Structure 1
Amino acid sequence: MADPSSSRTSTATSTADTPGPAIAAFFDLDKTIIASSSAMAFSRPLLRQGLISRRAALKTAYAQLAFALAGADAAKTERMRAQISALCTGWDVAQVRAIVHETLHDVVDPLVYAEAAALITGHKNDGHDVIVLSATGDELATPIAEMVGATMSVASRMEVIGGRYSGKVDFYCYGEEKALAAKRLAAEHGYDLAACHAYTDSSTDLPLLEAVGHPHAVNPDRALRKVAVERGWPVLTFNSPVSLRHRIPTPSATVMAVGVGVSAVAAGATWYGVSRRNRNRKGKEGG
């Protein structure tokens, strides 16, 4: 099994090398740093490269829409994990990494929340390490973490046999495992957890939020919002995805919310329409 505490370190200088207590800011990825599911964001490049079918892409779009509308409870997250694991079985790891590398900025860059980017910059300016903890696969999460300037990342890892995914998950960076990863990193780098920060949207990350002295709920689901209000934790609203490269002005929060919803529905409708036309054409040819 892969070591849950293993991480990819960027060129940023660790605060463990500076005087005084070391401090880290732990960030969830999906719906905290980026305004989407990272797996969903890469569904179109994977579709174009033939790794997934239109049917699989449609199912992923529908599952992500339901996930976003209903919140990320443990059962739904586990179902999505199992679905993605089954979908990835047999994929060539090198091909997946190449697709992510080639499409990263086009696919993910426009989805980064301006508010998250500003927080990451602020923490780094304060001499804090920035660590992304994500249930998303390492092949997606690590390049995104590096793109936004994180110091390091810890993400889920799938077993690889002969250069291909076996379908087995070696390490699932989810729930209690995120808190354990943060504690391992604290022991390794000398972080004072009481002075550390954590940012996440999901109630499944409560163990991580409870492990630090400065927990923050970002666009929280209902369960997390309730806990945050009861405990007096800051509740942050991120609603301005903006390109890190261009930093163009963004629409209002209302327009942006409508746009995200329409995009998700439109993607599903497009794939459904293509599939339906193909079925109709085959039916006519058969007749």
Structure 2
Amino acid sequence: MTTSGATPVPPASTRSAAFFDLDKTIIAKSSTLAFSKHFYDSGLINRRSVLRSAYAQFMFALQGADESQMEKMRAYLTQLVEGWDVETVRQVVAETLHTVVDPLVYVEAVELIAAHHEAGREVVIVSASGSEVVEPIGALLGADHVIATELVEEDGRYTGEILVYAYGENKATAIRELAEQEGYDLAESYAYSDSETDVPMLAEVGHPSAVNPDKALRRVALEEGWPILEFDQPIALRSRVSLDSTGSKVAVAGLAAAAVSAAAGVAFHQLKRRRSE
């Protein structure tokens, strides 16, 4: 069954949660791609790196990607960000904040998040994008928790290592761990995603839904009888969520390190999409 927009959710009967993927589920575009031009303009990414990444993404778009290819791309991207000065990254993001921090979110997703809160559930954003991007966006949306990829920082620089990669089965593992920590009843919990790579996450809960699903996830949803939701009304986040001065400062501080997440997230997001088509 395909439904346009968010669907009503019943009141929570036990302590439970609603788990949301971010890109293409809450936000109408990649949460990390918007920063790429500014990293190049600032010198953090050189032309050779931009061309190499673009070529790799083009080849994956034509041929798809297996686990070996994805691992090679991940290794390349983590090498790319190795040694980046954190303060430089913060300056770049601060200078371009007004042009990139106002991501477009789906009205339907914002309303669904509010509905789950009103029903007594906690909201958790689960994303393969970096925590530097996901956490402040989660704060703006009123999420109670965030699960995201974490990169290692040492002596003010990024080491190029990944501490936590919130992708595929790792999302499901993180959800189980958070559920145990917070006492969520996963059988009474909800989950939403657009990608077939998030089937493990969706299968962890009693109420999974596919949102703007790719072809592979649509097939799975139809086979499993999962609801299929179509979100198609993006709107500027700042027009839907009001912030006080404290909240704004927290969001700015969190986004200051977004460059690392963007460099890694650009290809991670693209590869995730291509594997499922």
Structure 1 length normalisation: TM-score?
Answer: 0.70
Please state whether the residue corresponding to 2:32 is helix, strand or coil.
Answer: helix
Aligned partner of 1:164: which letter? R
Please state whether the residue corresponding to 1:42 is helix, strand or coil.
Answer: helix
Quote the residue 2:43 is aligned against: 50
Greater relative contact order structure (CA < 8 Å, 6+ sep): 2
Gaps of 5+ in 2: 1-11, 241-277
* CA deviation string 1:206-242 (max 9, x = no partner): 1111100111111212111110000110111222221
- 225-234 vs 67-76, which deviates more? 67-76
Quote the residue 2:238 is aligned against: 245
1:38 and 2:34 aligned: no
1:86 and 2:79 aligned: yes
CA contact (8 A) 1:100 1:140 kept: no
Please state whether the residue corresponding to 2:175 is helix, strand or coil.
Answer: helix
Greater C-alpha radius of gyration: 1
Distance 1:71 1:30 in 2: 20
RMSD: 2.8
Distance 1:174 1:200 in 2: 12
Deviation, structure 1 residue 103: 4.3
- Work out which of the residue numbers 14, 19, 26 in structure 1 matches 2:19: 26
1:147 and 2:140 aligned: yes
Quote the residue 2:109 is aligned against: 116
Aligned partner of 2:113: which letter? I
Distance 2:106 2:72 in 1: 26
Gaps of 5+ in 1: 1-18, 248-287
1:158 and 2:151 aligned: yes
Deviation, structure 1 residue 243: 0.3
- Work out which of the residue numbers 125, 133, 139 in structure 1 matches 2:118: 125
Quote the residue 1:263 is aligned against: none
Aligned partner of 1:143: which letter? P
Aligned partner of 2:49: which letter? A
Quote the residue 1:255 is aligned against: none
CA shift in 2, pair 1:161/1:229, >3 Å: same
Please state whether the residue corresponding to 2:210 is helix, strand or coil.
Answer: strand
Quote the residue 2:171 is aligned against: 178
Distance 2:212 2:58 in 1: 16
- Work out which of the residue numbers 130, 153, 156 in structure 2 matches 1:137: 130
Distance 1:121 1:72 in 2: 36
What number of residue pairs does the alignment pair up?
Answer: 229
CA contact (8 A) 1:71 1:222 kept: no
Identity %: 53
Deviation, structure 1 residue 111: 2.3
Please state whether the residue corresponding to 1:160 is helix, strand or coil.
Answer: strand
Deviation, structure 1 residue 98: 5.0
Deviation, structure 1 residue 68: 8.0
